[in-house]
A and B are shown apart, each in its own frame.
Chain A
């Protein structure tokens, strides 16, 4: 498991290749989050952020047959089209890889202590948490939906 909270950009291709090297891996699913529309500043709670992400990845590993995972999340000043977050999950089969990747993103959005401040022409403002993100995370708690 690799978890990194960093200012610098990342190379998604290199991270995907790094999880593809084991001959028992048959599926590598990945997600890249990108800055849309306006420049932003991302603040985080150093220390807690890494711990929360590690807990989320551990939960994913307990629910699906995940062989390895990488999560990279950036902070600091970001411009439109910049990459913000990367999740890569390696598994033997695609079902586990897809589900765990989506689960990690949904939980990250509602649990990891990051805050976005958008710099719009009319002024800077903190992004408000969205209830749709809470709902996306909650659906994993329902045994009727996507429980793997």
Chain B
């Protein structure tokens, strides 16, 4: 299945990209699975996703836990803890 992945702030800079369409391998059906898939790319991805507490995740613009399922066409955003206000 294909999903749209977004990266923000320090994570976007670390990875050198703000968004991409990803074709997920069969068997990847949760946010945790997608995260592991990205981390397995190695290099900057491995580093960026190695500390779980520093990455927040939203699916279709709603904050979700790692166990959250994903489906084709979802917009999945990864970002650091927020610092607005």
Interface residues in chain A, defined as those with a beta carbon under 8 Å from any beta carbon in chain B:
33, 42-45, 47-48, 51, 73, 84-85, 105, 108-117, 126-130, 133
Flag if B9 contacts A117 (CB, 8 Å): yes
Residues of A within 8 Å of B62, CB to CB, are 48, 51
With the chains together, A44 CA to B80 CA distance in Å?
Answer: 11
Cβ < 8 Å to A, chain B residues 55-85: 58, 61-63, 77, 79-85
Flag if B85 contacts A48 (CB, 8 Å): no
Question: Interface residue count for B (Cβ, 8 Å)?
Answer: 16
Describe A's contact surface by its main secondary structure.
Answer: mixed
Residues of A within 8 Å of B10, CB to CB, are 115, 126
In the assembled complex, how far is the CB of residue B84 from the closest CB belonging to chain A, in whole angstroms? 3
Flag if A112 contacts B9 (CB, 8 Å): no
Flag if B61 contacts A112 (CB, 8 Å): no
Flag if B84 contacts A109 (CB, 8 Å): yes
B38 at the interface (CB under 8 A from A): no
Flag if B83 contacts A116 (CB, 8 Å): yes
In the assembled complex, how far is the CB of residue B59 from the closest CB belonging to chain A, in whole angstroms? 10
Interface residues in chain B, defined as those with a beta carbon under 8 Å from any beta carbon in chain A:
6, 8-10, 58, 61-63, 77, 79-85
16 new A-B pairs (CB below 8 Å) besides A42-B84, A114-B83, A127-B83? A45-B6, A45-B8, A45-B79, A48-B58, A48-B62, A51-B61, A73-B85, A84-B85, A108-B84, A109-B85, A112-B85, A115-B83, A116-B83, A116-B84, A117-B9, A126-B80
With the chains together, A111 CA to B79 CA distance in Å?
Answer: 12
By beta carbon, the residue of chain A nearest B14 is A126
Given contacts A45-B8, A48-B77, A126-B10, contact A115 B82 (CB under 8 A): yes
By beta carbon, the residue of chain B nearest A110 is B82
| CB < 8 Å neighbour of B85 from A45, A85, A126 | A85
With the chains together, A127 CA to B10 CA distance in Å?
Answer: 9
With the chains together, A110 CA to B56 CA distance in Å?
Answer: 12
Given contacts A45-B79, A47-B61, A113-B58, contact A33 B85 (CB under 8 A): yes
13 A–B contacts, CB within 8 A, in A order: A43-B8, A43-B9, A45-B6, A45-B8, A45-B77, A48-B58, A109-B83, A115-B83, A116-B84, A117-B9, A126-B10, A129-B81, A133-B85
